[in-house]
Each structure stands twice: as C-alpha cells, then as structure tokens.
Chains A and B, each alone.
Chain A
Amino acid sequence: MSCVHAFDLSAHPPRPEEDLRSFLREQTAGGDRLLVFFAEEPSPGRILLHAVSGGSGPGRCVHACAEASPRSFRTFTDVCPGTHWFEREIYDMFGIVPEGHPESNPLRFHEGWPKGFFPLRGAGPASEQRRGYRFLRIRGEGIHEVAVGPVHAGIIEPGHFRFSCAGETIQNLEIRLGYQHKGTESLLRGKPGMRQVLLSESISGDTAVGHSNACARLLERIAGTPAGFWAETCRSAALEIERIANHCGDLGGLSTDIGYLFGAAHFARLRGTALNLLMRLSGSRFGRGLNRVGGIGPRVPGIDPGALSAELRALLAEIEKAGEILLDAPSVVSRMEGTGRLLPHTAETLQVVGVAGRASGRDIDARRDFAPPRFAERPPKVVVAAEGDVLARARVRYEEMRSSCAWLSAALASPGAPDETSPSRPGPPSAPGGRALFVSIEEGWRGEIVHAAIVEAGGDIARYKVVDPSFRNWPGLAFAVRRNVISDFPLCNKSFNLSYSGADL
C-alpha cells in the first residue's frame, strides 16, 4: 500500500540543516511536491525538522530529517516556497525562529496569550517572546482598508480578512487566521487508538471521511492490522460520496453568491441527497463513526452495493441536469470567467493542492499518485483545467463528480465480502524496533490530506502532524483575488471554499 509509508528513524540519524536545504531543492527541481514539513522535540531542548515529499513517480515518498538549533533555523522558503506556512507554524508551536522568513506574523496565537507560550515545546527555555501581529500597510493615493471578520455575515467559520483597495480593486489581501485553533495536535499525542480517529473526524467537519480514512490507515500500519477489502471499499465509497456532497454544496454556494437561485436551491438539495447516502453508509450525514482502527464500524456491513450504485446513478443524472443548466447559463459564465484567476505558475510555486491546484493546471491527485487500496486497481480520471479562474474551479468540481460516480460504480461492482469480525478492538501496537515516522496520504474532496506520526519505541505517538489541504491553499486565495473588485471576493472565496478549522487545527 503506497498511501501509507513508514520510515525507521533510528536507522537514519538526522543530518545537518544544510543537507535538508539541498534535499528540498532537489525534490522541488525533480518534480516532487512537499507533503509535510514539521518540527518535533524528541528530548528537552533538542529539535528535529522533518520533511516528506513525493508524488513524482507512482507511490514515491521520501523523507529527510535535520537537527536544528532550539532557537532558530535558516528559512527554507528560498529553495522551497511551499514551506512558507509550515515554518510559521513551527514558530508558533515550538518558538523556533525561521531566520530570513518573508513573513514574521504569528499564524495561530493572538494577543492575550502569554508571550512565551509554545504549546508543543517542552519545559526547556524557548527561543524568545512571541511577536505581535502587524498588518501589511499599502500606501498610495486613494488606498483604503476594509476589515472583515472574524465573525462573518454568513453561517461560516471565523477568520479575519484585511483588504487594501484602490477604489473597488483589491491590491492586497491579508488573511489572518488562528481563531479556530483548538490545540488538536497536542490532543492527538499519546497511545494510538480510537481517540485519534474520533479527533480526526473533527479536524474539518466537512472532511470527516478524508481525515479519518488517513488517520485509521496510519494507526493500522502502526498496529500491523490492515483493514480488509470490504472495509476499504466502504471507505472509498464514503470518500467519493463526501466529495460529491461537498462539490454539490460548492456549486450551490457559488450560485448563491452570484444570485442564481436555481443553482442554489437544486445543489443545496442534491448535497443533502449525497449526505443522506453517507448517512446510510455510516449513521451520520458526515460519515462520522465509519472508521475504526482495523476496519469499519459494525453498523456498516448492512449496505447493499447494488442499491448504492443505483442511487448514485440517479443522483448523477440529477447533478448532470442541474450542472449543465448552471454551467451553460451565459449570466453564470460571464460572472465566473476570468474572475479570481490563480496563475499556474503561482499555483505551482505555492504548491496549491486539490481542486484549486488542478483548476490551475496542477496534475496532482493522491488517489492516482499514492493509490489508496481500492484506487490502486484503477485510478479515477484526474480532471485538470488551465484557466485557474472561478469558472475553472466550478468546472473541475462538476467533472470530478462525474468521474467519482464512474469510478465508484466500477468499484462497487466488486465490493468484496463483508467480514463478520468487529474490528473495534485492535491488538497492541507492534513496536517497529525504534522510533519511526508514519505518513498517510488521502485525497480528500478539497485536496491532499497528510497525516504524519512519530511513534516512540514504546508505541506511544510523540508527535502527530496533520496537514489539511486548506493549510496549503489559503495563500493561493490571497493571490487569486488581487486585481479583482472587492465585491467579487465572496465568489472567489467560495470557489476555494477552504476550511478554517483544518488550517488552524
């Protein structure tokens, strides 16, 4: 299985910082993408930096680890701009300064937190006091600022947007997050078990299946109890239904934001139909309770693959009817075309993933590149567009729903047999000899999800790192809205539809 990788840390001692720099430079030049970059403190005052990248070849996933000073390291953004937010996160959580980093503002901690508080740092002395937040000031005649949030007008998560505009045109957007920070990664440490799976369902509620699939497979690799074929069929089915539900929701949301009520009403309803399928599969409209360590919950085997296939076909027919009307309507196309363009070059430099990446020409999809169990037999069609505008992101979503349905119908034709054993009690974890790093990758509906865990020789998780695709894509949104009129911001924002909770953890 190439969607979960294990690296023996005791066999490969950490290298000097400069080696990590050349590793990142070579990986980026060789067509690999950065999957995760994070720090850990294996013993008080000792800091290790881990980078995992891959994707240029089937299942390719490589790891490098460097020893860093407990006070600072030289930023890697010059050789690999994709480390940008990861380095800010390392500062926030560990208090280690990325020297020369282009942006020094904290990502997660606001005023009011103790200045020396770094939650993942042990008792030893941390580097320095946390800096205050300073917004970028754009100067010039007629430039004015618009501040939005954290409490937004709609029923959505909190975040702060600071626009600097000349007239109606956005010159710069600064996105300040952290409002949703819940300390998830610190809660994920400890003995591996159902606690992590349940927490992973709450990393981003709309991606409960994507995250819990990644988490369950990671824990199964640690415990040495892989899920059966049938369980993996159910996981993939849930993953694709989650994708369809959210893509429907997004097409509905885009319709709302341009005042196209037909699309808004129909796609809101179709999203509900898809969520109800997910409920029939898992007992929850968001696929919660589906995953257990070693398989799936015992309520699931009642699902009939034939009936599910038939319902999917009916749903797809409705999606196609509404989707064609939506994407053929001249009033819709004229609002979306050319709006919020993220250029392919920018998307690649920032390493934007998922729908937003594919709509800007990035041909990446973890279902093909890292082939989770059922996807290895026959990867789905990867939908890529070059334009990078709101319309491209809408079209990629629409085509992905069709591709998902086609893939899932084929997968449900050979679902495997439900096994009788309840998997909810996994055996004790099989210690991999010494310290080991486990990495699990899944293509959630928004994009690539990466879970990484460092497991001690005793079997406990010492560090659990989560990467939600939103974390990779927020900087992309800031670029996409430049030179657009501010009244188009809601439309641009919806076309990315990023999770605040997933980014803030």
Chain B
Amino acid sequence: MFESVIGRKRTGCVTAPLPFGDLPAPFRGAPAIGPEFSGGAAAEICARVCETRAIDPVSRTVDLGRCIFCGLCEEACRGKGIRFSSDPHLPCGTKEHLILGATPPPLPKADRTLASLLGGSLHLREVSAGGCNGCDLEVQATGNPVFDLQRFGIDFVASPRHADGLLVTGPVTRNMREALIKTYEAVAEPRLVIAIGACAISGGIFRGSYAVEDGVGEVIPVDLYIPGCPPHPSTILYGILDFFGRYPGRKPSRGGSLHGAGGEEESA
C-alpha cells in the first residue's frame, strides 16, 4: 500500500491545462490548404490519391467529415497544396463547418436552453455503432488522468436514462441501426447527439458498403460533429467544450493559407 502511495506522489499531477498546445510532429492535425490547392494543380493531384473522396477538385474544398488523415494527399502534392499541421483544434460543428476552403457559416453554439441546461454538467452515453474501436478508445482516453474530462463536469454514464445525450462512433452498421434508435429514444429531452470521427460523420473508409448507413446523421439527428480518424482526445474535449462556449483561447484553423493558419509556430 505504501508503495502505491509513494508511486502516486512521485508521479505528481499529469493533467493537461487548457488550451491544449500543438502536439509533437509528425502528428497530423488540422490541415492547411495553400494557394496551389485553391488556384493551382494541387487540388487535382490530391483528389486523385484520396481514398475517401474527401477532396473535391472542382470546388477546391477538403471535407474533414470524410478525411481519414492518412496523409497521402500531402505526400502526392509534396505539401504544396495541403499540409497537415500539428494543431489538434479541428473545426467542429455541423457538416458544413467541416469543409475547408469554403466560406463557413457562423459556428454553431449550443442554443441557450441546451447550454443553460447541459452546459455545466453533461452526462453522455457512448454508443459504438460499427466503428473499428479507434474512436471509442480515444473517447475512453478523455477520461484518463491526462485529459480528465470529469474536471469539466462531463462524464459517461452506463444508461441512456441517466444521460443528457449520446456520443456516437462508427458509420452505423445495419445491425446496430435499431439499437442506436432505441438508445436515442431512451434519452430524455432535451438531448444532445455528438458524432465522433470520419465514420460517424460520413461513413469514412466504409462509405458505400452494403452493411453501413454512411453516418449517424442518416439515422438520428446530430447536433455536433467532431472530425478525425480517430480524433485526438484533446480534439474531442475541444469540440464539446467549444460547443458550450466553455473553451478558452484558440480557435481552429479555417484552412485559409499555409502561412500562419494552423498556428504551427505556437509552442506546446
């Protein structure tokens, strides 16, 4: 017993303060798009290697709701069109807010009723609806001593009856469709639905398969999308806290230019 007390003392406090800093390279966080992408040949080059069709070479946009952050586009254009920064603050919101290169509508915030009711204490029920478990593990990691989401009054509960909302991962398999709907209906109103990761937003790499529904939004209404494959725990925390207007400091890159947009120069 004394050993464990000493061990605890020696480790000290490991919890990361807000706002989160950039992660060490070569982490692939918020991508920045450059002039070669907006006006040059890079959009076409990037689109050709993108396996999830996240890149539209006609409108010259990148849909982070489809992006799995594999980095193939950056390699193909040699970083001239798209470059991944190590900033974990990805744009979150509705599906439109996840599109880089387009003019974004104003960022959604929780409406005032929802914010006043749930903003201070939020209990979520997690439903894995066909993901690969990567997103589930990162959601789980938000509860570890480093990210410690309980310090913000957010927690995960075992029953949808005890929950203020759902946090859903995965593309929603046909086999999970009914269970997801039932879980959603078991949550009392007003209820919040957060979809986490490329699969939950668009079907991700599984989009178009006979066995999936191509995203949570096809099955139940979604209030907040948090992109990534999987999103880093700090991205998840940022997405939720910012939705309630509780995240201090930095705002996400909007993909305007390669210079200064991603906050690459800031230290951790």
Contact = CB atoms under 8 A, between A and B. Distances in A.
A116 to B, nearest CB: 14
Contact of B206 (A187, A283, A297, A302): A187
A440 interface: no
B68 A150 contact: no
Nearest to A150: B179
Contact of A265 (B70, B126, B145, B199): B145
A194 interface: yes
Contacts of B111: none
Interface in B1-46: 3-4, 7-8, 11, 14, 23-28
B135 interface: yes
B141 interface: yes
Contacts of A297: 71, 75
Interface in A146-167: 150-151, 153-158
B97 interface: no
A424 B75 contact: yes
A25 interface: no
B129 interface: yes
B239 interface: no
Nearest to B210: A183
Interface string B170-184: 110111101100010
Interface string B222-245: 000000011010000000000000
Interface string B71-100: 110011000000010000000000000000
A367 to B, nearest CB: 23
Interface string B112-150: 000000000000011111111111111111001110000
A266 B136 contact: no
Contact of A501 (B70, B127, B133, B183): B133
Given A195-B51, A325-B4, A181 B132 contact: no
A289 interface: yes
A204 interface: yes
B175 A288 contact: no
Contacts of A206: 133-134, 137
A284 to B, nearest CB: 7
A378 interface: no
Contacts of A153: 158-159
B174 to A, nearest CB: 7
Nearest to B68: A198
Contacts of A194: 49, 51, 70, 72
Contacts of B255: none
B49 A321 contact: no
A180 B24 contact: no
B200 interface: no
Nearest to A279: B27
A288 B229 contact: yes
A179 B179 contact: yes
Given A285-B138, A288-B229, A298-B75, A205 B133 contact: yes
Contacts of A204: 132-133
Given A179-B176, A182-B173, A269-B146, A155 B140 contact: yes
Interface string A288-328: 11000000011110100000000000000000011001000
A106 B71 CA distance: 39
A272 B16 CA distance: 13
A155 B126 contact: yes
Given A268-B145, A284-B69, 12 more contacts: A179-B175, A180-B175, A182-B173, A182-B209, A183-B210, A198-B51, A205-B136, A269-B146, A271-B144, A283-B26, A283-B27, A286-B137
25 contacts: A108-B175, A151-B125, A156-B136, A157-B133, A158-B129, A179-B175, A181-B174, A181-B211, A184-B206, A198-B51, A205-B133, A205-B135, A205-B230, A206-B137, A249-B137, A262-B4, A279-B27, A286-B134, A286-B137, A288-B68, A288-B229, A289-B69, A299-B71, A325-B4, A424-B72
Interface of B: 3-4, 7-8, 11, 14, 23-28, 49, 51, 68-72, 75-76, 84, 125-141, 144-146, 156, 158-160, 170-171, 173-176, 178-179, 183, 199, 204-206, 209-212, 229-230, 232
